[in-house]
Amino acid sequence: MTPRRLHRVVAVAEAVTWALLLTGMFLKYVTETTELGVRVFGMVHGVVFIAYCLATVLLWVDQRWPVSRLALGLVAAVPPFATVPFERYAERSRLLGDAWRLRSEHPRGPLETVTAWLLRRPAQGLLVGLVAVAGLTGVALLVGPPA
């Protein structure tokens, strides 16, 4: 999967899960028919939110984004549907490449070294990503829902 494709997939998935969560909130608070949508889609959205944030950090390191673009990408995950306009902005601004830079280029520094290892071993990188998402989701569950 290319950087461009990864970012598009997680950005759209994050927006879709926002829509599902908002639908669940409508059913819970407006129609007062069920809380199930918030429970299910809240969890799904939380998992995808974490995946989007981790993918954004991965892209920041590999594509050498300035810190301001990383911050903008992470902030875009907070308001509903903002990841899609950010993805379009990133595409227009050529922040997303067709190839992973650190698969072939020598890494500089510890962040690039870890990122290069993850990208050069896709199966292990995917496993580490899944474990990271699961671990961060577990921490979020322990901390509790937003107030």
Answer left, alpha or beta for residue 130, where phi above 0 means left and psi between -120 and 50 means alpha: alpha
Q: E-strand spans in the chain?
A: none
What tens digit of pLDDT does each residue of 64-114 get?
A: 999 999 999 999 999 999 999 999 999 999 999 999 999 999 999 999 999
Cα–Cα dist 21/16, whole Å: 9
What tens digit of pLDDT does each residue of 4-36 get?
A: 999 999 999 999 999 999 999 999 999 999 999
AA letter at 115: T
Q: Rounded to whole angstroms, what are the CA distances from 81 to 18, 31, 57?
A: 7, 23, 19
Spatial neighbors of 120 by CB under 8 A, at least 6 apart, are: 102, 103
